[in-house]
Amino acid sequence: MLVDTKENIIFSVSDLSACLKQVVEGAFLSVRVRGEISGLKVHSSGHIYFSLKDEQSIIDGICWKMTAAKLAVHLEEGMEVVCHGRVTTYPARSKYQIIVDHVAPAGVGALMKLLQERKERLLKEGLFAIEHKKRLPFCPRIIGVITSPTGAVIRDILHRIKDRFPCHVIVWPVAVQGQSAAHEVAQALYGFNNLSENKPDLLIVARGGGSLEDLWAFNEEEVVRAVFASAIPIISAVGHETDTTLIDFVSDQRAPTPTAAAEMAVPVLEDLRLSLTRSGMQLMNSLLRILKEIAIRLESLGRGLGNPQRLIEEKSQYVDDKAERLFLAFKGFMEKKQRSLEHSGQLLESYSYQKTLKRGFSMVKSSAGTVIQSVKTVRSGDPVEIIFHDGMIGATILKGT
C-alpha cells in the first residue's frame, strides 16, 4: 500500500483483495443459502465444485473432500438444497463463493420429487420387473452382509442367524450414511459377486431406521444398478417396516427389518430336524403298508395257483407221455422207410440185365466194350463178344444182313 503526495491511499491489487476478503468473511462467517445445484463437478482430488442459483442470481460453492465424505445426501445436478457454510473470496479471480460444510435438501418435498422421478425412470428401464427376481436359496452355505460393522443391525442379524441355522457369515463393512455411503455399498455388492473363493449364496443389505435423508444412499442410482447386476440373490433390509427405498424394488426380497431379513435367509434348524423325523416316519409307514399289501396279494395269488408239486407232477407225466409217443412215431417211421427201401431194391434187381440173360437172352458187345444194338453198327469181319448169363465167348461178324 502506498501514499501519494496528496495523502491518498493507493492499494495494490493483492492488498485490496485481502481487505475485501476480511470484510466479506467477517460479515458472513456463517450463512445458510437456498438454491438449485448447477454445474456440479467432482474433482479428482475429491473436492466438489458447483454453483447455487435461483431465478436471478448465482453463487459458487465448494465442498472440501473431508466434508464431502460426511454429507448426508448425494449431490446431484438440479437438486434444490440448503447449504450451510461461510462466504469467502477467491482473489485469483475476483469472485466470492461459499465454503459449504453441510447440505440438506430444501424440504422433504424436494427429495420426494427427485425420488419419484428416479423411480419412474428406473421402472421404465425394467429394473423392477418381476421376471428378474431370483429365488432365495433354501439353506445358504455362506451369507454376505453389507452394513455398518458397528451398531445393533449387525448384532441382530448375526444373533438371529445363529439361533435359527448357524452358518458362515461374511460382513463387508460400509458407511450407511453420508456422501460416500452409496459408492461403498455399490462396491461391496460388486466385490461379493467377484469373489473367486467363499462367494456367498445370499446377500443382505441392511441399515437401521432413519429419515429420508438418512436413508438416501439406498435410493442412489449407483446402488440400485449394482443390486440389479448382482448374480447373487439379495434381501434388502433398510430402515423400519414403513421405510421404503429404491433397492427394495430391485432386490429379490424385501425384509421389513434386519432381523426379519435373517429369518428369511435361513430356516429353523430344529424345525428341519423335526420335519425330517416326521417325513422319515411317514416314509417308513408307507413302505410297511406297501409291503403288507404285496404280501396279501401274493398269498391270494398262491391260493389260486394250487399245489405247485402237483402241477409239476402233472406236467412231468405229460412230458413222459409225449416223449413215448414221439419215440413210437419215430420208430414206426424208420420201419416204414426200411420196407420201402427193401421193395425198391427188389424192384431194381428184377429189372437187372442178368435176370434177362437167364431167360435165354444174350448181349453182344463190340471190341470196344459198347453194346451193339443194331446190325447197322457192325461190318463183316468185326470182332464181338457175346455175353450169356453164365459166361462170354468171342465171335466174328461174317456177313451183315
What is the CATH number for 193?
A: 3.40.50.10550
Please indicate, yes or no, whether residues 214 and 295 belong to a single structural domain of this protein.
Answer: no
Number of domains within the chain: 4
Please indicate, yes or no, whether residues 256 and 174 belong to a single structural domain of this protein.
Answer: yes
Please indicate, yes or no, whether residues 149 and 262 belong to a single structural domain of this protein.
Answer: yes
Please indicate, yes or no, whether residues 194 and 287 belong to a single structural domain of this protein.
Answer: no
End of a domain among 232, 267, 302?
Answer: 267
What is the CATH number for 11?
A: 2.40.50.140
- Write phi, then psi, for 138 (nearest 5 degrees): -70, -50
Are 217 and 74 contacting, i.e. CB atoms less than 8 angstroms apart? Answer: yes
Q: Is residue 294 part of a domain?
A: yes
- Closest CA relative to residue 75, chosen from 188, 183, 229, 185: 183
Q: Is residue 338 part of a domain?
A: no
Q: Is residue 65 part of a domain?
A: yes
- Write phi, then psi, for 69 (nearest 5 degrees): -70, -20
Please indicate, yes or no, whether residues 304 and 385 belong to a single structural domain of this protein.
Answer: no
End of a domain among 267, 294, 319?
Answer: 267
Distance between CA atoms of residues 51 and 79, nearest Å: 11
Please indicate, yes or no, whether residues 260 and 282 belong to a single structural domain of this protein.
Answer: no
367-385 pLDDT, tens digit per residue, is 888 888 888 888 888 888 8
Find all residues with CB under 8 Å of 83, minimum gap 6, and list them.
Answer: 32, 33, 34, 35, 52, 61, 98, 100, 102, 103
Three-class SS string for 261-274? HHHHHCCCHHHHHH
Q: Is residue 337 part of a domain?
A: no
* Torsion from C-alpha of 133, 139, 143, 149, nearest 10 degrees: 110
Confidence of residue 247 (pLDDT cuts 50, 70, 90): very high
Confidence at residue 400, expressed as pLDDT on a 0 to 100 scale:
57
> Which range in 29-38, 122-131, 275-284 is most confidently predicted, on average pLDDT?
122-131
Please indicate, yes or no, whether residues 151 and 261 belong to a single structural domain of this protein.
Answer: yes
Q: Is residue 334 part of a domain?
A: no
Q: Rounded mean pLDDT of 184-209?
A: 95
Q: Is residue 45 part of a domain?
A: yes
List b or e across 160-196, with b for residues whose CB sees 16 or more CB atoms inside 10 angstroms: bbeebbebebebbebbbbbbbbbbbbbbbbeebbeee
Q: How far is CA 294 from each of CA 59, 115, 275, 306, 307, rounded to the nearest angstrom?
A: 93, 68, 28, 19, 20
Q: Is residue 349 part of a domain?
A: no
- pLDDT above 90 for 180: no
Please indicate, yes or no, whether residues 196 and 282 belong to a single structural domain of this protein.
Answer: no
116 or 320, greater pLDDT = 116
Are 35 and 52 contacting, i.e. CB atoms less than 8 angstroms apart? Answer: yes
Q: What is the DSSP letter of 46?
A: S
Q: Rounded mean pLDDT of 218-233?
A: 95
291-347 pLDDT, tens digit per residue, is 999 988 888 877 766 677 777 777 787 887 888 888 887 777 787 877 887 777 777
Please indicate, yes or no, whether residues 282 and 232 belong to a single structural domain of this protein.
Answer: no
Q: Domain residues for 369?
A: 354-396
Confidence at residue 257, expressed as pLDDT on a 0 to 100 scale:
92
Mean pLDDT value across the chain: 86
Average the pLDDT over each of 85-99, 193-207, 322-336 and give the range with the smallest value. Answer: 322-336
- pTM comes to 0.55
Please indicate, yes or no, whether residues 300 and 224 belong to a single structural domain of this protein.
Answer: no
Please indicate, yes or no, whether residues 146 and 253 belong to a single structural domain of this protein.
Answer: yes
- pLDDT above 80 for 109: no
C-alpha cell at 33: 443459502
Are 127 and 224 contacting, i.e. CB atoms less than 8 angstroms apart? Answer: yes
203 forms bridges with which residues in the sheet?
Answer: 144, 234
Q: How far is CA 269 from each of CA 136, 163, 305, rounded to the nearest angstrom?
A: 17, 9, 54
- pLDDT above 70 for 162: yes
Q: Is residue 80 part of a domain?
A: yes
End of a domain among 210, 237, 267?
Answer: 267
Distance between CA atoms of residues 115 and 246, nearest Å: 8
Find all residues with CB under 8 Å of 141, minimum gap 6, and list them.
Answer: 167, 168, 201
Please indicate, yes or no, whether residues 163 and 263 belong to a single structural domain of this protein.
Answer: yes
Q: Rounded mean pLDDT of 116-126?
A: 91
